[in-house]
Chain A
Amino acid sequence: MLSFIVRRLLQSLPIILAVAALIFVMFSVIPGTFASSMSDDGRSVLDAEVMARMNKEFGLDDPVYVRFGKYVAQLATFDLGTSFRTRQPVAHVIADRLWPTAQLAFASMLFAILIGVPLGFIAALRPGSWIDTISMVGAVSGLSLPKFWLGLLLMYLFALMLGWLPSFGYGGGDLRYLILPSVALGVAPLALLARTTRAAVLDIMNADFVRTARSKGMSESKVVRWHLTRNALVIILTTIGLQFGTVIGQAVVIEKLFSWPGLGSLLVDSVTLRDIPVVQGSILVIVLLFLLINMLVDVLCAIIDPRIKYT
């Protein structure tokens, strides 16, 4: 097991390095620097001298390979650079925002798993029934909804009309503020999980070894308990892992909508302001999170499915 984990970690390493390189390459060719973006917005007009000073300060004058070298060296020490805007170390800026995003991501996925997986199971075990049809129609609809629209509607209904929940903000950790954003973010993964679970369960229920189980004289409920669950779990876990990535990505929009002080809204703000180091750093951290979660999922799958360790 340990060797499996180490192997997976080593597999992830080149990916994150490649991503870091890609991001650097992408942003080093930006025509507009932070300084020029400020004047683009018309908010402040800087003269050439100030711009030159800024460029010097952030080392933007250096040739590309020098900058890349510095970049890699910094990454090795987990230094993500300094924000153009606030002059704070990027790592600090990101660290403050990490927990709210983690909360949001986990809450949405929990919501999606707790409702989506059982729904998929039930739909598959009663194919063609009304509950199957309604769940699947609901699932397709859930996948087609723009999340921010859903968020707006939820906000309107529950916060403004009914006043049950706060409409936006973090609330200093008050969990009630977490509800609306999590639901808005979690509907799409819920729909996908329901569909995937249903497909997986149907496949398994038609598999040869389930026929063998039935030939032993097992009742359907025992078949489900003794043979179905473990086999379905692998597929479900893999889907959950992949969905985490999508959720972290889509969280960007939800965080902006609900003024949620997480990594996503940081990314959006930095993009608008062209605060490149923060953009680079945020993307790197997001990818890192995603890779870690996927590794965790792989480890869980390896625990459940004895065939995996040997590949």
Chain B
Amino acid sequence: MSGQPLLEVENLRIDLDVGGTRFAAVQDVSFTINRGETMGLVGESGCGKSITALALIGLLRHPLMIGGGKIRFDGREIQNLPASEMRGLRGSRIAMIFQEPMTALNPLSPVGRQIAEMFVLHKGASWKEAENLAVEALASVRVPAPERRVKDYPHQLSGGMRQRVMIAIALACGPDLLLADEPTTALDVTVQAEILDLIRELSAAKGTAVLMISHDLGLIANMCRRVGVMYAGKLVEERAAEDVFRSPSHPYTSGLVASLPLLGARARHGRKRLREITGVVPPVSAFPKGCRFNPRCHASTDLCRAEDPVVTALPDGGFVRCHYHE
């Protein structure tokens, strides 16, 4: 594997068009993902993490669009790529799985066929060959009796099974990068762990890099080597996972970590209220002046309210966006 990162995102800006006015829903987002690396993107609903992923795979539709910045995939700039060339990358080199497996699959098509489409599209297989490959794909995601499941329709499968089908589809052609947008949020807790294990194993086996998006810190901590924390459309902290949890730099991250209910905490520390971050995420049209987090930050000063902090590199290799980072 060459030393060049697989994905480089530089100052990405995503605009939202509301009746003619453009708002920057995502701004100044920069990060890199190396080959085979699993990176997490964490934040509350509405912080822009999902649309960042959509931008990477070129699936932004009106009223969203890329408003600036660069996305370099395997050394090649793809943010302005013509549609036909982007299509060449989609599915075969960059793949995505989504949150709601029930609605993400065509209800009128057997799941086997939906997997087989990948092989017909990208590997030039005939439908017959593709159907056989689909059975193998189902087996690789640990679906029991795959030769029978292949004929089932999505509504006949459980949520966990459907998500396995989605993973089979996404990984069918061995993509270099898998974008996973909240893949387990809609599933039962017991199934969540299985699906995450599956993603971890398959991506390790095939050397697939993964961008794992979630609002669940615990999940991210388990799966990812590097973590990016997003708030109101900006990346406020990006570091190695253990560093983020052991010594969070940005007040928002500390707030997130502190609000995690920990097993055994009551035994150790006695009864305490769950810590929360007061306030709500601001809407795209009304981002606060200065640092976007300042209304909710317990340590904000006049400087915070006046100036938006710039990215500061941290000694352990990450960065943070705060005037008073720890």
Tell me, yes or no, whether A and B come into direct contact in the complex with CB atoms closer than 8 A.
Answer: yes
Interface residues of B in 247-276 (CB under 8 A from A): none
CB of B121 within 8 A of CB of A218, answer yes
Q: Is B108 an interface residue (CB 8 A)?
A: yes
Contact of A216 among B84, B108, B121 (CB under 8 A): B121
Which residues on the A side are within 8 Å of B98 (C-beta)?
A: 208, 211-212, 215
Interface residues of A (CB under 8 A from B): 207-209, 211-219, 222, 226-227, 230-231, 304-307
Q: How far apart sit A309 and B264, CA to CA, in the bound complex (Å)?
A: 50
Interface pair B103/A207, CB less than 8 Å apart = yes
The 8 A CB mask of B152-169 against A (1 = contact, 0 = none) is 010100000000001001
Name which of B57, B107, B108 has the most chain A CB atoms within 10 A of its CB.
Answer: B108
**Chain B proximity of A129: nearest CB distance (Å):** 14
* Residues in B lying within 8 Å of A, measured CB to CB: 57, 59, 84, 87-92, 95-96, 98, 100, 103-109, 117-118, 121-122, 153, 155, 166, 169
Give Cα A307 to B121, complex, Å.
27
Which residue of the partner chain A has the closest CB to B107? A307
Query: Can you sample 24 A-B contacts with CB below 8 Å?
Result: A208-B104, A209-B106, A209-B107, A211-B104, A212-B98, A212-B105, A214-B59, A215-B95, A215-B96, A215-B98, A216-B95, A217-B90, A217-B92, A217-B121, A217-B122, A218-B91, A218-B117, A219-B84, A219-B87, A230-B109, A231-B106, A231-B107, A306-B155, A307-B155
Contact call A226/B153, Cβ cutoff below 8 A: no
Chain A binding surface, main DSSP class: helix
User: Which chain A residues lie closer than 8 Å to B155 at the CB level?
Assistant: 306-307
Q: How far is the CB of B133 from chain A (nearest CB, A)?
A: 14
Q: Kindly identify which residue among B92, B103, B108, B122 contacts A208, using a CB–CB cutoff of 8 Å.
A: B103
| Contact assessment for A304 and B118 in the assembled complex, using a CB-CB cutoff below 8 Å | no
Question: Which of A217, A231, A304 has the most CB atoms of chain B within a 10 A radius of its CB?
Answer: A217
Of A208, A216, A219, A222, the contact of B118 (CB 8 Å cutoff):
A216
Q: Closest chain B residue to A305 by CB distance?
A: B108
Instruction: Give CA–CA (A222, B120) in the complex, Å.
Output: 12
Tell me, rounded to whole Å, the shortest Cβ–Cβ distance linking B318 to chain A: 30
B166 adjacent to A212 (CB under 8 Å): yes
